[in-house]
Structure 1
Amino acid sequence: MTDVTPGERIALPCPACSPGLETVHEVLKPGGQVTVRCTDCDHVHKEQLPDETTLQRDVVVSQDGDSFTAQVDVPEEEQLAVGEEFLLETDAAVVTARITSLETDEGRTEEAPVEAVETIWSRAVGNVAVNVTMHPKDGQHDETESFKLQVPGDYEFVVGETDQLGDEEFTVEGIHIREDAHGYDHGKLDFDGDSAEAKDINRLYVRDESTTAWSAW
């Protein structure tokens, strides 16, 4: 609760219009004592916000076929769910991770309160490796090339559009979505204009657009 930002809205009693009940307040200035404004009566006052109690949980993060373990502090009233993302600070780096499974004493589940969770299983999504199946220009599907692209997790691929990444130039023909991705109507996107971020993609299907001669070897 103490880690608030200007413009954030929080629930507090207002000494002017509602000393006994909480009303919505806007944070004007963070600090040891936070300056807030009541949105009901515009009264500005300072408040000492309570420290937020957290629970430490084990985290397993998978990245490019490898995995590492760490620990993360989670607010004790948090409800965790598959698909949610969080920042994990380690000695080596700050990692953006997405929850893929939650382990409780009753087994794996997709949603649970943090107090019931023993281990958070996740994968790194800040930078990801995208599986690509590329067909040659002449349309021979029996002569395909498979490789991985290393891109930022929020890099967007669009069906029907041409991308040039490193030595590869290709037009996206289809996108297969990962099971832990949310917000998509279908697991396979193949209409022009369909798009997805790299962190949500299980495999890209593309057509080679490079000027070099095609070789299946």
Structure 2
Amino acid sequence: MTDSTQRVGLPCPACSPDLETVHDVLNDGGQATVRCTECDHVHKTTLPEPKTVQRDVVVSQDGESFTGTAEPPADETLAVGEEFVLETEEAIMTVRITSLELAQGRVEEAPVEDVQTIWTRAVGNVSVNATIHPKSGARDETRSETLHVPGDYEFVVGETDELGDFTYTIEGIHLRDDARGYDYEKLDHDRDSAPAKDVNRLYLRDEESDAWSAW
């Protein structure tokens, strides 16, 4: 759910005491400070409570799913890739929108009032699939593992890193469909990077000669 400069309709004591004009909110703490966009008059006032709507949220985490509810502002637009904090019976977690369900089907962006269900996945802590090549390069020793890391853990192509006893070099990063802000679906140039929550699969070279032991 994105933030933007807040604007509200309020009477202006200088130019329009009886009718609302558009005001910029300069400071919304306590008695809010606002500026009329018609005459630039700055004054303090109480902001009206924003109207919210309750929407069902489905959360996917490590192959399982559960439901909760969110109350976004009624005039907001939601889009795939946006993140918000969701409070459920299980936990308080950060989730990312993966799909928006409307009466006529699923879409990637829609006004809140048209949305029936918000489909999400947990991104605070994530599981990342990895294809691991041995240091020797022997193809028959390639294996797959799952790494469990914080969602903001940064993976950088060309860097050597450690998780527990596992030392590896990142050779490539395949991104998730809901990752935003990238030019390509796969990152494979030195210094290309992505946080774990954006990663669908890692391609790693094992820098240890011994078999990998999970932490």
Structure 2-normalised TM-score? 0.86
| Separation (CA, whole Å) in 1 of partners of 2:67 and 2:80 | 18
Aligned positions of 1:128-207 closer than 5 A: 128-207=126-205
For each residue in 1:74-102, what CA deviation from the matched residue of structure 2 results, as whole angstroms up to 9, or x when unmatched?
11111111111111011332111111111
CA-based RMSD: 2.2
Contact 1:101 1:108 in 2 (8 A): yes
| Separation (CA, whole Å) in 2 of partners of 1:86 and 1:204 | 25
Compared CA separation, residues 25 and 101, structure 1 to 2 (3 A): closer
Q: Tell me, what secondary structure is at the counterpart of 2:141?
A: coil
Structure 1 range deviating more: 17-26 or 94-103: 17-26
| Separation (CA, whole Å) in 2 of partners of 1:86 and 1:98 | 7
Contact 2:129 2:144 in 1 (8 A): yes
Compared CA separation, residues 115 and 168, structure 1 to 2 (3 A): same
| Separation (CA, whole Å) in 1 of partners of 2:148 and 2:99 | 24
| Separation (CA, whole Å) in 2 of partners of 1:100 and 1:23 | 34
Task: Give the deviation of 1:117 after TM superposition.
Answer: 1.1
Compared CA separation, residues 150 and 18, structure 1 to 2 (3 A): farther
Identify the residue that residue 213 of structure 1 maps to in structure 2.
210
* Structure 2 alignment gaps of length 5 or more: none
Among all aligned residue pairs of Structure 1 and Structure 2, give the percentage whose two residues are the same amino acid. 60
Structure 1-normalised TM-score? 0.85
Identify the residue that residue 3 of structure 1 maps to in structure 2.
none
Task: Give the deviation of 1:172 after TM superposition.
Answer: 0.2
Identify the residue that residue 35 of structure 1 maps to in structure 2.
32
Q: Tell me, what secondary structure is at the counterpart of 1:142?
A: helix
Q: Tell me, what secondary structure is at the counterpart of 2:139?
A: coil
Contact 2:128 2:147 in 1 (8 A): yes
Compared CA separation, residues 16 and 90, structure 1 to 2 (3 A): same
Q: Tell me, what secondary structure is at the counterpart of 1:54?
A: coil
Identify the residue that residue 62 of structure 2 maps to in structure 1.
64
Count the aligned residue pairs: 204
Task: Give the deviation of 1:115 after TM superposition.
Answer: 1.3
| Separation (CA, whole Å) in 2 of partners of 1:150 and 1:135 | 19
Counterpart residue identity of residue 63, structure 2: G
